[in-house]
Amino acid sequence: MKIGLACPYTWDVPGGVQAHVRDLAETLLDAGHDVSVITPVDDESTLPPYAVDAGRAVPVPYNGSVARLLMGPVSAARVRRWLREHDFDVLHAHEPTAPSVSLLACMLADGPLVATFHTANPRSRFLTAAQSALQPSLEKLRARIAVSEAARRTLVEHLGAGAILIPNGVAVRAFEGARPLPRYRPVAGVGDDDGGGGAEGRGAEGGGSPREDGPVVVFLGRIDEPRKGLDVLMAAFPLLVEQVPDARLLVAGPGDTEAVRSRIDPSLLGRVDLIGLVPEADKAAVFASGSVYCAPNTGQESFGIVLLEAMAAGTPVVASDIDAFRRVLDDGRAGRLFGVGEPAELAARLAELLRDPAERARLVERGRAVVARYDWRVVAQRIVGVYEMVSGDSPVSVAADDT
């Protein structure tokens, strides 16, 4: 199938939508489809061979963060040329409500159009204001996909449009069999000689083989973003140490590490490892370094992708009891939940798990079963099912009236 994907945000700036488009494109390519992506990009040399440059996006401050947008005659001409050159069986626009390439593609194209809506924003003034301007483009979409129930609700409430639900995928292969960071590797000769069986080796090691020091709790996320909940974990940690004296804490993620360090009780400093921002490629190793991954988020997340990544890396999860996490963790069957913002309860959950390797192994097993449903290979197949349902009669063309 010839598939065109439009990504609205700058390719070489990290973000959830970009990652989604990249993973989807690569999974579809692996499955033998013909895929082309069009996207704004700052440094064209970062583009993979399957992607086309739509121009440089302009940063616009919006809603407390910076949205990078791209609309204009030059990019419109590039999108038009891209559509003409490819003759796609289906055009799949991501987040076509953002004033960028995806919206341009919807305006310029005609035929089998599909869109995925990523954002969950219960009170978007932008969407409300732009509704009638967006409507002519959105009404061309033959299928609308939302990545979460919250994203679907946003669409229904702001644009009066229905959508089917297909969740985000997880690049399971990138996490499977991950090895811990070097200094978190088990003592040489005990768990290290397991050869190729990385994942199983880790499972067995959870059964009691010694580590250099005690069990490790991992946090990954922005350390100065209150909604990521590092403060809750920091308050729980001293309580955890009372129950599990050799517990350690590994904190990864961007932000002011010195500010976090200054708030730690000096007697515990030796057990807390603040490693700052880790490259995307090291995320799996960070998860694999932990006996438990902790997600103490206090704000509503629309989708618990980071939980799935930890589970794919074979690390059991303890997470706060918010909607998205409860859904991903199968109501607590695939990971432990604790009351949002409750350090004492978090410490108790962590202690239970750190003392019970058998239960950890059980959670890892159930986690694998959950992750399988979100495996990009499975999710992409469901998306291809949608492509097949909307395409067929004629390929995507450039609209006669360019609207």
Applying CB under 8 A, the residues found at the interface with other proteins are 110, 135-136, 138-140, 142-144, 148-149, 160-167, 327, 330, 369, 372-373, 381-382, 384-386, 388-390, 393, 401, 403
Ramachandran quadrant class, 86 (left: phi over 0; alpha: psi -120 to 50; beta: rest):
alpha
As a residue count, the chain comes to 403
A 10 A CB-CB count for 146 gives: 26
Q: Is 87 exposed, middle or buried (0-12, 13-18, 19+ CB in 10 A)?
A: exposed
CA distance 99 to 104: 8
Compute the C-alpha angle 24/203/329, nearest 5°: 50
Name the residue nearer to other proteins (CB basis): 165 or 259: 165
Smallest separation (angstroms) from other proteins to the CB of 198? 25
Smallest separation (angstroms) from other proteins to the CB of 401? 6
CA distances from 3 to 36, 56, 73, 119 (A): 7, 23, 24, 23
Smallest separation (angstroms) from other proteins to the CB of 162? 5
Q: Which residues pair with 67 in a beta bridge?
A: 60
Smallest separation (angstroms) from other proteins to the CB of 384? 5
Burial 226-259 (b: 16+ CB within 10 A, else e): eebbbbbbbbbbebbbeebeebbbbbbbebebee
Look up residue 344 and give its two tokens. 């004492």
Smallest separation (angstroms) from other proteins to the CB of 164? 5
CA distance 110 to 68: 26
Name the residue nearer to other proteins (CB basis): 167 or 255: 167
Name the residue nearer to other proteins (CB basis): 232 or 308: 308
Q: What is the 3-state secondary structure (H, E, C) of 253-286?
A: CCCCHHHHHHCCCHHHHHHEEEEECCCHHHHHHH
Name the residue nearer to other proteins (CB basis): 166 or 204: 166
Smallest separation (angstroms) from other proteins to the CB of 334? 11
Smallest separation (angstroms) from other proteins to the CB of 234? 31
Contact of 129 with 335, CB cutoff 8 Å: no
Please report how the helices 357-374 and 376-390 are oriented relative to each other, as an axis angle in degrees rounded to 10.
20
Name the residue nearer to other proteins (CB basis): 31 or 277: 31
Smallest separation (angstroms) from other proteins to the CB of 283? 22
Contact of 40 with 55, CB cutoff 8 Å: yes
Smallest separation (angstroms) from other proteins to the CB of 144? 7
CA distance 134 to 337: 40
Name the residue nearer to other proteins (CB basis): 110 or 345: 110
Smallest separation (angstroms) from other proteins to the CB of 178? 24
Name the residue nearer to other proteins (CB basis): 140 or 211: 140
Look up residue 217 and give its two tokens. 């709790």
φ/ψ (deg, to 5) at 30? -60, -35
Contact of 164 with 181, CB cutoff 8 Å: no
